[in-house]
Structure 1
Amino acid sequence: MTPQQAEQLRSLPAVGELLERRDVSEWCRTHARSSVLHALRAALHHARQRIRNGHAAEAREFTMDAIVATAKTRLESHHAPSLRPVINATGVVLHTGLGRAPLCPAAVRAVADAAGRYVNLEMDMETGERGHRTRHVAELLCDVTAAPAATVVNNNAAAVLLCMRALCDGREVIVSRGQLVEIGGSFRMPDVMTAGGVTLREVGTTNRTRIDDYSRAISDRTAALMRVHHSNFRMEGFVHEAAIEEIVECAHRHDLIAIDDVGSGALFDMAEIGLPHEPDVRRSITAGADIVCFSGDKLLGGPQSGIIVGRADLIARIESHPLMRTYRVDKLVLAALEATLRYWSDPQDAAVHVPTVRMIRERTESLAPRADRLHQLLADAMPDERFLISSDTSCAGGGSLPGEGLPSVVIRWQPSTESPNAAAAALRTADPPVVARVHDDAVCFDLRTIADHEFDPLSRAVASVCASGRSAGPIE
């Protein structure tokens, strides 16, 4: 150790000295004293390590002000929430990594009201007796799906697994080979069904399965015929799948249960509000499906949940199964789901008030003027940067409307001081974080998923990235 290093170590303040500062003592008003001490000690340790390693030559790096500044950064970083609001500029409406469906304002208010107070979750207020928590949404679900009964669990995979356990345990369930999908996170539908205690019986081929394939596979061990939503892919060309009406007729002819996993949660023919066709719940119920499962946080636009509708006797068996308690939803999910479902009594109301539906169906005619406003904001704030308005294609995401591109409008940014990939990475750590996509050597901000109130924060985030890029120098 050099004499200079020894002198620098001796000059470092003690923790007690730092605690006596007015600004540091103020920290203890908003943070636990132990957290403040930890931040101060960590800052001092960092300074000592830099001195011993010979990395720091300037004395100002070890002043009391510098140590306090380092400690403050550590303290704020430690107490910053891990789950943070993000600007979704990808154009993927149901972005699983970003939390899928943003809730409508009514659902947000309902969650806030329920979160901070007691609610009648499982109490019948007339009798004072214990009730069923799912009753808060069951009637609404029956109204919007035309099903006789309904219940809700915490996600659609849980809904499928619970149906297997409660209705088909120890027996066979027949599914088309072309529907044995793998969903996000490497979870495979055959594995979910096997975990539900059933033997999966595959029929047909990858691209063609006829109703006769189901009929020939039925035995005395068969409990149900099941259709599974393709989720995140679409087959085209020389393909055939049995319609839900055929599956229902075949199942009932053999006294079996017909189960339809429609996945995305389209409550009706989406063409009614200008969207591409998607298997819908009402058609399945009208066709006579005994059980229909779907997600609450996809096309429905509600909170993460798995919804099960169908025959009252089967729903009763599902709700009385011991696993129902392990998959039940809490008051916050029920509050958000109830508020969202109220808009679905009229699909046109849902198209206006439910953000997911509104974003998916928004046309380029309304995206273009919004793009003009954002472009002007960015160009005025950063005149040296190149921003262009361009046509592009976005998507619904979340396994909904697979293969259906949504014509969109984007702002293309070609950074002057760093590569598009580096700029996109810097945006993800900006304040606020912005998640954009990189396409054709440009950072693209898709207007489909950017709200008007996010224009200013997005502009500030881009400006901060530009400023840091300039300090690092231009691209070589």
Structure 2
Amino acid sequence: MAESASVPAGAADIPSVDRLLSLPELQPLLALHGRTQVTAALRRQLDQYRAAAIAGKLPAHALGGRALADALGTALATASQPRLRAVFNLTGTVLHTNLGRALLPDSAVREVVQALTTPANLEFDLATGERGERDDLVEDLLCELTGAAAATVVNNNAAAVLLMLNTLAQRREVVVSRGELVEIGGAFRIPDIMQRAGARLVEIGTTNRTHPRDYADAIGPRTALLMKVHCSNYQITGFTCSVGVDKVAALARPHGLPVAVDLGSGTLLDLTRWQLPSETTVRETIAAGADLVTFSGDKLLGGPQAGLIVGRADLIRRIRKNPLKRALRVGKLTLAALEPVLRLYRSPELLADSLPTLRLLTRPAHKLEAQALRLCPLLQPALGDAYLVAAAPMLSQIGSGALPGSQLPSHGLTIAVAEGGRSAGAGRRLQRLEAALRALPRPVIGRVGEQALWLDLRCLEETDEAAFTAQWQALRL
């Protein structure tokens, strides 16, 4: 086999696949990845070599056993890297939809692992020895925490709204205030979900003002239910008027109509006890007269992705009988994660330590500032003289449509170009730095703005600092 680096190799110099697979240098790759993957990667590598050889640009040393093994090892490692990867969320958004929203507590992780590795009573009643209902695993807890009479679970809140509307309002009318016809991330809109559910939307009021008389005037023989929707991701301020759940329920009762409330994010406890902005709880919504409430499991609740429907027992029974329920139901992993999260809410005085979402939301700004000051001198050497790292105050947000407009005092790091900070070249260098951080073994996700790269530390817990700083040793600018 040609080994000289001075003479380009020709296409005829490239050995056969079988011969190369027998090389001692490739045996560790075969043991690690298997013959099928290594053979496929080797064929792709040789196709590239043939093209280079025809162009007279294939160095002979590339065909050596060690060089070939190194090239194949790199290609196989890249191909084997999981697409879903852990990242450092330094965006300042705690419940970041694109980064997976809520982090699960250790108790939930343990129960998910157990559900993954052992058989479980997902739909088996241990008391009777007969077939059971998977909702039974969490229904009692949900009723206890919300004051509802019954509950069911589907795979996300959009599915919960779809299933509820399809069950109760197919080919009938649903009354909703125009100011509550929201669009959530990914261009999913309440009117579109309503249409897919087979219900007819009846808009009332205006964008900024809706009155009780608007609901009363819209009720007719085709009305199936009155619905209120949490205004996720935005606020209407100024000259506004909206109708509370209690008043809507009072209007619905004489007509025998149910009232449904889509809380979107949904919280089980009063957040002001942790000095967070106020948000109406599920229990308060039920107590105000809502017959059904839908909300998410992976937002303020701090659990896995799920759509929760709680409310009147007769309505929940109808929802469970809908054939769509099977299509939208959750699996054992979701239920294994949801139950321990709900159990944590039985001890609210311990929740700020036990629930990651609440722990991150309540991290005090002075501790974040101390963390930023610790990290500054550790990160600056990796960037050299080209960039300046500084500790700076910032504003975090909750995210995922929870408490729109509310911001949390935070602290973090800003990275600016050392010279010419406002030039077009400086902007390109910041973009290159941001891309380099995304290319790290565990990507670092921040945001570029105001002539700097901003790294909010709210979601970087102290236990992760060592792993975070170690990443910067691999930084390539």
TM range (shorter): over 0.9
Q: Which string of whole-angstrom CA distances, capped at 9 and with x for unpartnered residues, describes residues 420-450 of structure 1?
A: 1111112112111111111222222111011
- 1:6–1:274 Cα change, 3 Å: closer
Tell me whether 1:264 sits opposite 2:265 in the alignment. yes
Structure 2 counterparts to residues 276-355 of structure 1, below 5 A: 276-355=277-356
Q: Secondary structure at the match of 1:185?
A: coil
Alignment partners' CA distance in 2, 1:137 and 1:7 = 67
CA contact (8 A) 1:44 1:67 kept: no
Q: Secondary structure at the match of 2:470?
A: helix
Tell me whether 1:401 sits opposite 2:403 in the alignment. yes
Q: Secondary structure at the match of 2:10?
A: helix
Alignment partners' CA distance in 2, 1:201 and 1:378 = 56
Q: Which string of whole-angstrom CA distances, capped at 9 and with x for unpartnered residues, describes residues 337-369 of structure 1?
A: 001111112333222211111111222022222
Q: Which residue of 2 aligns with 1:47?
A: 49
Alignment partners' CA distance in 1, 2:88 and 2:8 = 48
Q: Which residue of 2 aligns with 1:374?
A: 375
Alignment partners' CA distance in 2, 1:23 and 1:394 = 51
CA contact (8 A) 1:5 1:52 kept: no
Alignment partners' CA distance in 2, 1:163 and 1:57 = 64
Q: Which string of whole-angstrom CA distances, capped at 9 and with x for unpartnered residues, describes residues 259-312 of structure 1?
A: 000111111332122111223211111112100000000000000000000011
Amino acid at match of 2:407: G
Structure 2 counterparts to residues 61-460 of structure 1, below 5 A: 61-379=62-380, 384=385, 385-414=387-416, 419-460=429-470
Alignment partners' CA distance in 2, 1:397 and 1:53 = 53
Q: Which string of whole-angstrom CA distances, capped at 9 and with x for unpartnered residues, describes residues 165-196 of structure 1?
A: 11222210100001111111111111101111
Q: Which residue of 1 aligns with 2:36?
A: 34
Query: Higher mean Cα deviation, 192-201 or 366-375?
Result: 366-375
Which ranges of structure 2 fall in alignment gaps of 5 or more residues? Answer: 1-5, 419-425
Q: Secondary structure at the match of 2:130?
A: coil
Q: Secondary structure at the match of 2:131?
A: coil
- What is the CA-CA distance between 1:415 and the residue it aligns to? 5.0
- What is the CA-CA distance between 1:383 and the residue it aligns to? 5.9
**Equivalent residue in structure 2 for 1:19, among 18, 21, 24:** 21
Alignment partners' CA distance in 1, 2:307 and 2:458 = 26
Query: Higher mean Cα deviation, 149-158 or 272-281?
Result: 272-281
Alignment partners' CA distance in 2, 1:462 and 1:424 = 13
Alignment partners' CA distance in 1, 2:39 and 2:277 = 58
Query: Higher mean Cα deviation, 31-40 or 455-464?
Result: 455-464
Q: Secondary structure at the match of 1:118?
A: coil
Q: Which string of whole-angstrom CA distances, capped at 9 and with x for unpartnered residues, describes residues 124-161 of structure 1?
A: 11211000001111111111111111111000000001
Q: Which residue of 2 aligns with 1:472?
A: none
- What is the CA-CA distance between 1:6 and the residue it aligns to? 7.9
Q: Secondary structure at the match of 1:419?
A: helix
Q: Which residue of 1 aligns with 2:423?
A: none
Counting aligned pairs with the same residue, the percent is: 43
Q: Which string of whole-angstrom CA distances, capped at 9 and with x for unpartnered residues, describes residues 68-96 of structure 1?
A: 22211221122221111111111111111
- What is the CA-CA distance between 1:462 and the residue it aligns to? 3.1
- What is the CA-CA distance between 1:58 and the residue it aligns to? 4.1
Q: Which string of whole-angstrom CA distances, capped at 9 and with x for unpartnered residues, describes residues 222-272 of structure 1?
A: 111100011111111111111111111111132100000011111133212
What is the RMSD computed on CA atoms of the aligned residues?
A: 1.9
- What is the CA-CA distance between 1:53 and the residue it aligns to? 3.3
CA contact (8 A) 2:157 2:295 kept: yes
Amino acid at match of 2:391: I
- What is the CA-CA distance between 1:392 and the residue it aligns to? 0.9
Alignment partners' CA distance in 1, 2:8 and 2:330 = 60
Alignment partners' CA distance in 2, 1:63 and 1:27 = 16
Alignment partners' CA distance in 1, 2:431 and 2:362 = 30
CA contact (8 A) 2:8 2:59 kept: no
Q: Secondary structure at the match of 1:462?
A: helix
Amino acid at match of 1:309: V
Q: Secondary structure at the match of 2:84?
A: coil
Alignment partners' CA distance in 1, 2:97 and 2:175 = 29
The size of the alignment, in residue pairs, is 463
CA contact (8 A) 2:10 2:58 kept: no
CA contact (8 A) 1:5 1:51 kept: no
Which ranges of structure 1 fall in alignment gaps of 5 or more residues? Answer: 470-476
Q: TM-score, normalised by structure 1?
A: 0.93
- 1:191–1:372 Cα change, 3 Å: same
Alignment partners' CA distance in 1, 2:467 and 2:12 = 45
Alignment partners' CA distance in 2, 1:393 and 1:24 = 52
Alignment partners' CA distance in 2, 1:7 and 1:308 = 68
Q: Secondary structure at the match of 1:60?
A: helix
CA contact (8 A) 2:270 2:281 kept: yes
- 1:205–1:69 Cα change, 3 Å: same
- What is the CA-CA distance between 1:382 and the residue it aligns to? 5.3
Alignment partners' CA distance in 2, 1:89 and 1:458 = 11
Q: Secondary structure at the match of 1:111?
A: helix
CA contact (8 A) 1:432 1:457 kept: no
